[in-house]
Amino acid sequence: MSPPRARRIDELDVLRGFALFGILVVNALLMAGPYTVLGGGPGASGADRIAAWAVTALVTAKFYVLFSFLFGYGFALQARSARRAGAAFAPRHLRRTAGLFVLGAAHAALLYPGDVLTTYAVLALVLYGLSGLGVRALLRVAAALLLLLAALLLGYGLLTVALTEPVPDASYTPGDAARAAAYRGDAASVLHTHLRDLPAVLGTNLLYAPAMLAAFLGGLAAAKSRLAERRGQDRAWLRRTALRRLPLGLGGGAVAACCASGPLDGRWFLVGQAVTVLTAPALATSYACGLLLLLTGRAGARVPAAAGVLAAAGRMALTHYLTQSLVLACVFSGYGLGLYDRAGTVAVLADCVLLYAAQLWLGARLSARTRYGPAEWVLRAVTLGRRPGGPPRPVTKPAWTAAPLASRSDPRRSAEPGDGVPPAP
């Protein structure tokens, strides 16, 4: 007799699909030019600066927190799946982590040095080591990590403000010009630039690793308490949680935006980062609860089109993440159009909307034809040590209207929970 199949928790897929847009926005602005994420360099328009301020306040770090939380939640679901199948979880987890690291390393070298999949892979080993802790202990460790990182950033940031001169507005340097030329060059030039940037990126990822791990632990604690299963369709709880977290999240985002994009000068950047570490989880929580609230009808039914499309994207989050980097690299680097530092912030954001819409459209159709996205298929094959099998998950309108997301248990859709690996910050 085959082991029972797990019902996939579709709320998590919906959130993954939603968070893909925030990841896309931040990565696109970072890949578009040296100052695009800050509103552009000298001569940038007022609209670009306003757009950059809004992105910092509302988007930056918030969706990475959400993806990291979902990674921790998925870790617990994968462990449960292994137990149901009578398989040892540790070998599966080690193979999955190794596969994720290799994918991340290739992604960083070829497409986007800002990749964090390699950091995720390393932290996944730490997560495994801490997975035996109880819910309260996990939350205490997560809180301690956030407080320590925030204190470090705040202390260094305040010293910077006190001991250095005001930083002038961004201006182009000879190094910026050389970097732009390298990114607009041929493929070898782009690859060389990526490899040269990797040490600095690894240092940044190491600095912010405590925040990532804290979100992992928060997700694991939520999974152990079965938060999504218990509260994913509780409209009163979703509304209450979203509203309670929103003021803190918006306030912290506004402070961070003032420190990064003005009116405060660049000396305040790390102070803003400290505020972000402490408040981004609140806004991420508000976004998640607000989205699920919007997609939950009063009778418990979901909005079929929106929920179905987002969930389909979320099931293939890793494929979509890598595809985003491929498209952006072809647009901004010498791999393709070579538009590095030639597009304003507003234009980049408009292109992000178009790319995300195209991904949702294509993802829904791909999900109806195949059980896994290409990257998910590879990672699952590595995880299981064999070729994945099974039919595609049908995406039909009755499945979205007949019952709430979390109540459906069609065995054809019950893939191992957590297959959609969240990319993150």
What was the pLDDT predicted at 396?
39
What was the pLDDT predicted at 277?
98
Neighbours of 404 (CB within 10 A): 19
Per-domain residue ranges of the chain: 10-413
Q: What is the pLDDT of residues 103-151, one digit of tens each?
A: 999 999 999 999 999 999 999 999 999 999 999 999 999 999 999 999 9
Give the residue from 304, 310, 326, 303 showing the smallest Cα distance to 396.
Answer: 304
What was the pLDDT predicted at 301?
55
Q: Which residues of the chain have pLDDT under 50?
A: 1-4, 300, 391-420, 422-425
Distance CA 359, CA 386 (A): 29
Distance CA 290, CA 19 (A): 13
What was the pLDDT predicted at 171?
64
What was the pLDDT predicted at 232?
79
The contacts found for 394-398 with CB under 8 angstroms, 24 or more apart, are: 394/368, 395/308, 395/312, 395/364, 395/367, 395/368, 397/304, 397/308
Distance CA 39, CA 52 (A): 5
Q: Which two tokens stand for residue 32?
A: 């578009």
Q: What is the pLDDT of residues 61-101, one digit of tens each?
A: 999 999 999 999 999 999 998 888 888 999 999 999 999 99
DSSP character for 415? P
130 in Cβ contact with 217 (< 8 Å): yes
What was the pLDDT predicted at 304?
64
